[in-house]
Structure 1
Amino acid sequence: MAAPRITASPSAWRRLQDDVQGLLTGTLFAALGIYLMKCAGLVPGGLVGLALLLHYASGLDLGAVFFAINAPFYLLAWTRMGRAFTFRTAIAVSLLSLLTWWLPQAVTLQQIDGALAAVLGGLLCGAGMLIIFRHGASLGGLNVLVLRLQDRLGWPAGKTQMVLDALIVLGGGWYVGDARRLALSVLAVVAVNLALVYNHRPGRYQPV
């Protein structure tokens, strides 16, 4: 008697296709936002800002830096968010690292206003993160850490995230030594968080 064949249901294939296009779209949006901010020399908050700061200081490839600094957070994500979330997050981070490396070779940007880079780059990053959240993943980083600190030490996640973001932005401002760029980096952080605050709400994505 032949062994039964195991096939994925049509709904599983549709869900897989939905997740694939979602992760590709979200990471492309985020990578484009990071590219705009990089062209303007900005340092927003989060691990994106930390990766940009390390990139400016060391000259190492931005995509490689972003991938490397995210690696320690996978263990935290595994214990806090579960296997499926961690797997999707690892895919999203890998895609973002690859796209961050590829975009400067595919697009040449000769000039961009710093304010436009902060607002448009921040909104693109926020929109990309929203799409990725919608598909059960994240871009890794500090949000997993602050949730872990809240669980273990009782530190409020929102305030802890704000302090860490502020330290990264201030570190970037100190490194570049430019008050205008520091202000624009703060504007970029505001743009990212506005996109998240006004759109990432329970029930927002429920079908009508």
Structure 2
Amino acid sequence: MAQTSATITEPAATTTATTATQAPSKKDDISHRLYEDVLALLLGTMVVSLGVTLYSESVLVTGSTAGAALLIEHATGLSFGLIFFVINLPFYWLAFKRMGKAFTIKTFIAVGLVSGFSKLTPMMVDFQMLNPVYAAISGGALMGIGLLMLFRHRAGLGGINILALYLQEHFGIRAGYFQLAVDMVILVIAFLTLPFDKVLLSILGAVVLNLIIALNHRPGRYLAAR
């Protein structure tokens, strides 16, 4: 999801004489506990799913695998949750190779939860009237906030992000450029299949989503292990 241009990166390791000789104390250990990871996965995916529901109800799209799933949903009427889960399946091997076992397991769980919550949310919430501008801004904000929660607990949702990192590492293709190219393809398809105003609102939502991530997901701003 969208994470239309956001990528998940691990902080670079630094090896200085000072840090090499210092053992972290218990009070300096801010690694996440299991229950914290569980709560973050549940709450983060619930928030993302609510944002996805706003987009689905308003016939909007976003970037990455979530955007592709929304486009297929709008074109075929199939469930977003099922499409999103299936689209992400080919990327888990890359996630394991590039990001490690823990990240892959958390991401698999997160994708499954978003798929399930996206199916359940419309059954719990009935939109009698939904302003598309509000849906674009609020939906983008909700997805950005939910993604932040997942990023900070070493999880993600986007198979395209993982592929972009893999291509950069093995073939020298810049991850950001590849991600942008994929999102541009999704937008071109959206222009061909959706009303013009819906695409413009989708772009507005993508800007909101990426601003939230860009302003809050910076190296050094949030220090946590695991």
Same topology, TM > 0.5 = yes
RMSD: 1.4
Question: Any residues of structure 2 matched to 1:5-84 within 5 Å, and which?
Answer: 15-84=33-102
Offset at residue 148 of structure 1 (A): 0.9
Q: Distance in 2 between matches of 1:205 and 1:146?
A: 24
Aligned to 1:123: 141
Q: Distance in 1 between matches of 2:100 and 2:36?
A: 20
Percent identity of the aligned residues?
44
Aligned to 1:188: 205
Offset at residue 30 of structure 1 (A): 0.3
Offset at residue 179 of structure 1 (A): 1.1
The reply to whether residue 198 of structure 1 matches residue 212 of structure 2 is: no
The reply to whether residue 147 of structure 1 matches residue 165 of structure 2 is: yes
Pick the aligned partner of 1:170 from 183, 188, 194: 188
Structure 1 window deviating more from structure 2 (139-148 vs 20-29): it is 139-148
- Provide the secondary structure at the position in 2 that maps to 1:72: helix
Q: Distance in 1 between matches of 2:45 and 2:219?
A: 22
Which deviations, in whole Å up to 9, do the C-alpha atoms of 1:67-94 show, x marking residues without a partner?
A: 0001001011011101110000000000
Aligned to 1:8: none
Q: Distance in 1 between matches of 2:82 and 2:49?
A: 13
Offset at residue 206 of structure 1 (A): 3.8
More helix, by proportion:
1
Q: Distance in 2 between matches of 1:163 and 1:109?
A: 34
Q: Distance in 1 between matches of 2:188 and 2:55?
A: 16
Q: Distance in 2 between matches of 1:164 and 1:138?
A: 18
Offset at residue 173 of structure 1 (A): 2.3
8 Å CA contact 1:70–1:141 kept in 2: the answer is yes
Q: State the one-letter code of the partner of 1:130.
A: L
Q: Distance in 1 between matches of 2:207 and 2:199?
A: 13
Aligned to 1:7: none
8 Å CA contact 1:34–1:121 kept in 2: the answer is yes
Length-normalised TM-score, structure 2: 0.83
Structure 2 unaligned blocks of 5 or more = 1-28
8 Å CA contact 2:66–2:158 kept in 1: the answer is no
Length-normalised TM-score, structure 1: 0.89
Higher relative contact order (CA 8 A, sep 6+): 2
Runs of 4+ in 1 over 3 A off after TM superposition: none
Aligned to 2:151: 133
